[in-house]
Chain A
Amino acid sequence: MKIHPFFRLIAIGALCFLYIPLFAVAVFSINASRFGLTWKGFTLDWYFQLASNSLVLEAARNTLFLAVVSTMVSTVLGTAVAIGIKRHPWGKRWAGFFDLILHLPVVTPEIVFAAALVIAFALLRYVSSVFDPGMLNMVIGHITFQIAFVALVVGSRLAAISTKIEEAARDLYADNLFLLRHVTLPLLRPGIVAGAMLAFTMSLDDFVISFFTAGPSSMTLPLYIYAQVRRGVTPDIHALSTIVLLITILAVVIAERFSRTSTKEKKHA
């Protein structure tokens, strides 16, 4: 197969277009100049400064805490929802309703979801002051959009598992618990891992929901970078962004390797 040189040019142009800004950030993170964007020589000072910036460290801790807690809760709830929907005889109407609920976070513009959350927490504050803007609200907000994505990923995996396998387990004397523990969950594991990874990354990446639900002491890295950029871009932000970028690249490459070897194993069979 050959591709027309003109389209080839567009393709390479599109890739450059994606990477030039990221490349610029990386370059300016090792530029000695504090102000302006002229090259003043190589330095790693901005990276060392990050290590002593307590706000950044605090934000990194918050980001990680938020992602870990919300992923754990949403993975359990989302997996249960997927099993509940796919493995029980719901009528057409109910199945449609559940489908609608699950697709709601996918088809709602994030900003509307955020606005709805602001109102929800305002109403919940009548009940208890724990719903003041802050980490709890952020965790709840993140779980809310994660559940749907976990359920969709796990659900598609579940649909690929034949019910014959479960019947075979029943035929071999398995009760509900044994079936879940030794057949359904192990077979679902790739889907659950994929769903959890998706949820985790979505939480790390999230800006809008966090922006609308955060309190004064629950700054995350995206929020910190946003706040700093509003004041004017500085080299230490470039350094921080470059670190985040490198971690992203590493994670994507590892995830790709992982999924590639698992498909290879399947093909080998």
Chain B
Amino acid sequence: MEYSLEAYAIYKNYGSVTALTNVDVRVRPGEFFTLLGPSGCGKTTLLRIIAGLEMPDSGTIMLRGNNLTSLPARERNVNTVFQNYALFPHLSVTDNVAFGLRSRKFPEEVIVSKVHAALDMVHMTEFAARMPDQLSGGQQQRVAMARALVNEPEILLLDEPMSALDAKLRTTVQEELRQLQQRLGITSILVTHDQDEALTVSDRIAVMNNGQFVQVGTPMEIYERPRNRFVANFLGKANIIEATRAPGGVQSELGFLQVNGVDWETGYLAIRPERVRLRDEAPSVNGVQSRVREAFYRGDHLDIWLEAANLRLRTAPHRAISSGDTVWVELPAEALVVLHE
């Protein structure tokens, strides 16, 4: 299969600080690929290396099979939507969008029609004459999108494009971004530290930590089958249970748990709070009885903390449970994830 972007063995240090260690990426054509991780994990550095704004210490970057490791930003058919957008404050919306075409000396009539089409695509035609400082955050973000997309890049790079928007707007923009990307079929790489955003828009996610890829997979794989404790904790909430292998499952402080695929002697299991089930009576397998330490009503769900093993579970909101009650819960075998490392 031909990849849109390939990066092999990328290393990058800033003095004694390691930013990237032996990173390999392959992005398929039309794919929405997300680099997810905490700040300082090297995700932005990787994006800047792909954009040509940074040099790797070693490694190779290929775009549609062409090596562009040593090409400057202006010779890469790749455009970026920057964090905080970096719009040119002295240029109108139209001139901002036209910038990339003008610097490549396109004829003016081509520029006019392309800019118009790009602004139309992000629903910003009526703001064409405005200056960037006369736009709201969401509008600036659209202009930044149009400014990148008008160049018809091979790959669209998005550097935390929604971090400056307020939470409500962010959800709408995420959905719009995903729709736009699907419609254009453009290969996109997003950098974010926001797990919801990553889960919503991506085809595949690479979870990064300490300059390395920890796990790469579809949103569902990453969420349902986290590889290790870092991924389990970084995406959503997880109960982590320390255990030792026993025939047919593991032995833990919750007693014997039936689980498949245990390939270590001692290690950790994970289970999502919403996969822990409340039972009226003792279940046949993987049942735990415990007092409720705390129960929080959250509107659309109920968060319950058990005294046993600090277990946390999430359930439908209309259960009459309060702290001090004793309940039965089941940890279904198929919901228990065997973690590695």
Contact = CB atoms under 8 A, between A and B. Distances in A.
Direct contact of A and B (CB under 8 A): yes
B133 A175 contact: no
25 contacts: A162-B86, A164-B82, A164-B86, A165-B88, A167-B53, A167-B82, A168-B86, A170-B52, A170-B53, A170-B73, A170-B74, A171-B53, A171-B78, A171-B82, A172-B79, A172-B99, A172-B100, A172-B151, A173-B100, A173-B151, A174-B99, A175-B74, A178-B103, A182-B102, A189-B90
Interface in A184-217: 186-187, 189
Contacts, number: 63
B158 to A, nearest CB: 12
B82 A168 contact: yes
Contact of A171 (B79, B84, B102, B134): B79
B150 to A, nearest CB: 9
A183 interface: yes
Nearest to A187: B90
> A interface, by DSSP: helix, strand, loop or mixed?
helix
Contacts of B103: 169, 172-175, 178, 182
A266 interface: yes
Given A164-B82, A269-B133, A171 B51 contact: yes
A164 B88 CA distance: 10
Given A164-B82, A186-B90, A269 B99 contact: no
Contact of A172 (B84, B90, B147): B147
Contacts of B79: 171-172
Interface string B72-103: 11100011101010111110000000011011
Interface residues of A, number: 20
Interface residues of B, number: 26
Q: What are the 9 closest A-B residue pairs judged by CB atoms, nearest first?
A: A269-B133, A172-B100, A168-B86, A164-B86, A170-B73, A174-B103, A173-B74, A173-B103, A186-B90
Nearest to B131: A269
Nearest to A179: B103
Contacts of B88: 165, 168-169, 183, 187
B133 A165 contact: no
A163 to B, nearest CB: 10
Contact of B80 (A165, A171, A174, A269): A171
A252 B18 CA distance: 54
B89 A187 contact: yes
Contacts of B168: none
B138 to A, nearest CB: 15
A266 B133 contact: yes
A262 to B, nearest CB: 12
Interface string B291-321: 0000000000000000000000000000000
B104 interface: yes
Interface in B52-85: 52-53, 72-74, 78-80, 82, 84
Interface in A121-180: 162, 164-165, 167-175, 178
A162 B132 CA distance: 15
Contacts of B78: 171
Contacts of B53: 167, 170-171
Contacts of B84: 164
B174 to A, nearest CB: 23
Nearest to A164: B86
A186 B86 CA distance: 15
A167 B86 contact: yes
B94 to A, nearest CB: 14
B134 A269 contact: yes
Determine which residue in A168, A171, A266 has the highest number of CB atoms from chain B within 10 A of its CB, and name it.
Answer: A171
Nearest to A265: B133
A266 B89 CA distance: 11
Contact of B74 (A164, A174, A266, A269): A174
Contact of B72 (A165, A170, A172, A186): A170
B74 A165 contact: no
A63 to B, nearest CB: 34
Contacts of A182: 99, 102-103
Contacts of A269: 131, 133-134
